[in-house]
Amino acid sequence: ATPTALLVGTGRGAQLGLLIRGPQVLESTRRIDTVVLDKTGTVTTGDMTLRRVLARTGTDPVQLLSWAGSVEDASAHPIARAIAAAAAEQGPLVPVESFTDTGGLGVSAVLGTGILETTSSTAVIVGRRNWLTEQWSLTPDDDLDDAAEAEQALGRTPVFVGWDGEIQGVLVVADEPKPSSAEAVRRLRRLGLRPVLLTGDNSRAAHAVAAAVGIDEVLAEVLPAEKASTIASLRRSGRTVAMVGDGVNDAAALAGADLGIALGSGSDVAIEAADLTLVHDDLIAVVDAIRLSRATLAVIK
Ligand code: ADP
Ligand code: MG
């Protein structure tokens, strides 16, 4: 490969809104056969909003949202921002202590003293269903489970909220696929590439989003720490993998892929770990990157 042709390629990349870490990046792009796409914030907008408040019988829905939002106020996760914003709109948040964020599973905190009439403190847990059942021994009643499953089938994410030894309700959040995601997936296929959706979210919601944009290979309920090993096992199976992501959670997977592609609006750690950054957050640019590298290398050959 002549360095001049490669540098011309990176210059063209800048025009297409691609920030390429170095000329050698275009060379590895050529062999890519699989493009793994993170769901939230990559295929979808990441602008989650609260869609439903499902309180169990006997629990006040206003209190459910208020307490969950007060805990989520300390988290930067898109789910947390949606819940905290909706709660703040409804009324003032309450002070919490001992906040913990268990990445990819959920958050918890203790309500500040004086919130309850009793003197004992109450821990509020907000997160994935199975984290509440397994880690906190809280089990939802069948009505809540059925309602949550119906929401998942629509591509939404149910967030379970527990305190006082019970699951008190479910807050349903969702965002939408970016307008250009389906077209980007179509163009990836036209280039002979296999798109894969990768997410920590529930499997039903992941499949609903995948179907909406035309992806049929879905890897869901993957914990942040497992995203990199998922990429590694795809590579071991003989595939050459590009990974596209935006989150702190995606950084290790981006670094471990043959080609790591970060979104320009993504977290600094993701951008730092990537070979290439999409300035405009639009997945069509992933297609441009792969076409550019093929064209550049065709000139060199
Ligand atoms: P993604 O791969 O879509 O970026 P994450 O790995 O960040 O998702 O999160 C996976 C799942 O963990 C979420 O769908 C949600 O159920 C749960 N979760 C993570 N963080 C939070 C939070 N702050 N509040 C509630 N649930 C959370
Ligand atoms: Mg994401």
Question: Could you tell me the two tokens for 152?
Answer: 């998942």
Q: Kindly report the protein residue whose alpha carbon is nearest to atom 16 of ligand 1.
A: 128
Give this complex's ipTM: 0.95
Ligand 1 centroid to residue 127 C-alpha, Å: 7
Q: Is 79 in the pocket of ligand 1 (CB under 6 A)?
A: yes
Best mutation site among 125, 128, 250 for ligand 1, i.e. most ligand atoms within 8 A of its Cβ? 128
**What pLDDT, on the 0 to 100 scale, is given for residue 34?**
97
The total of other beta-carbon atoms located within 10 Å of residue 134's CB is 11
Q: Which of the following CATH numbers is that of domain 49-174: 3.30.1950.10, 3.40.30.10, 3.40.50.300, 3.40.1110.10?
A: 3.40.1110.10
Ligand 2 centroid to residue 175 C-alpha, Å: 12
Q: Which of the following CATH numbers is that of domain 3-45+177-300: 3.30.70.270, 3.40.50.720, 3.90.1150.10, 3.40.50.1000?
A: 3.40.50.1000
**What pLDDT, on the 0 to 100 scale, is given for residue 2?**
47
Domain borders along the chain are: 3-45+177-300, 49-174
pTM of the model: 0.88
Question: Partners of 245 in the beta sheet?
Answer: 262
Q: Is 157 in the pocket of ligand 1 (CB under 6 A)?
A: yes
**What pLDDT, on the 0 to 100 scale, is given for residue 187?**
97
**What pLDDT, on the 0 to 100 scale, is given for residue 119?**
53
Series of mean pLDDT values for 10-residue runs along the chain (301 residues): 56 76 73 95 96 96 97 94 98 95 94 64 93 96 96 95 96 96 97 96 95 97 94 96 92 94 90 90 90 67 45
Tell me whether residue 268 is one of the annotated catalytic residues.
Answer: no
Q: Kindly report the protein residue whose alpha carbon is nearest to atom 17 of ligand 1.
A: 105
Which atom of ligand 1 lies closest to the CA of 201?
Answer: 14
